[in-house]
Amino acid sequence: MTSPTPSPAPSSSPLPPSVLDLAPVIPVVVVEDAGDAVPLARALVAGGLPAIEVTLRTPVALDAIRAIAAQVPEAVVGAGTVISPEHVTQSVEAGARFLVSPGWTDVLLEAMRASGVPFLPGVSTTSEVVALLERGVREMKFFPAEAAGGTAYLKSLAGPLPQARFCPTGGIRPASAPEYLALPNVPCVGGTWLVPEDALAARDWGRIEKLARDAAALRG
């Protein structure tokens, strides 16, 4: 990610040079009940996945980010589905330590860059990748990964554009994740399978921790 990393609060875990290097999988979670945010984050962290993307798809998403940032210092919580400068401001104020967008415009890109936190703008075409490289951005979200060409597309980008690094997200499952992670330009993938709807509804944190542990072991 290309923006400078801000100094973390004393209780927060420090970021590595890139959030992409924290773990092989970044869980992509949709929180419907803010009360689930902290135990969910603790389960994911206990399973070995400290970077957590909370999508801004629900009314409680910012509250969830705020709670995780305050109560789970081992987590590196980020905001996903960031699609406006307002989202950028709200997410950072809530405690998001990185930002992820499904796509990008110059307005959104500049807002993310000005936020002072790392960010992953979304791309799905070679032209979008080249445009971001021109702007000094080398780490991106590839979305929707499976629908946009999957591993074959990313492999074809590695030759002419080796400086670009991707976190593919969208349609990736445990069986296909290792194929992505084997690519030289894919340090991690985004995964929604870590938090099944039935496990979240049952508040089965043990099951979610087990899924996280299995995901953390995808790259031994």
Q: Which of 90, 186, 183 is nearest to 141 (CA)?
A: 186
CA 91 vs. chain centroid, Å, equals 14
210 catalytic? Reply is no
Catalytically annotated residue among 141, 146, 155, 179: 141
CA separation for the pair 66, 50 (Å, rounded) = 16
pLDDT in tens, 174-211: 999 999 999 999 999 999 999 999 999 999 999 999 99
* Pairing relationship of beta strands 139-142 and 165-168 according to DSSP bridges: parallel
- Report the DSSP beta bridge partners of residue 139: 165
pLDDT at 29 over 60: yes
User: Active site residue: 32, 53, 146, 209, which one?
Assistant: 53
pLDDT at position 71 is: 98
The pLDDT-based confidence of 13 (bands split at 50, 70, 90) is low
Q: Cα–Cα distance between 25 and 194 in angstroms, integer?
A: 9
141 flagged as catalytic: yes
Q: Check residue 219 and give its pLDDT.
A: 78
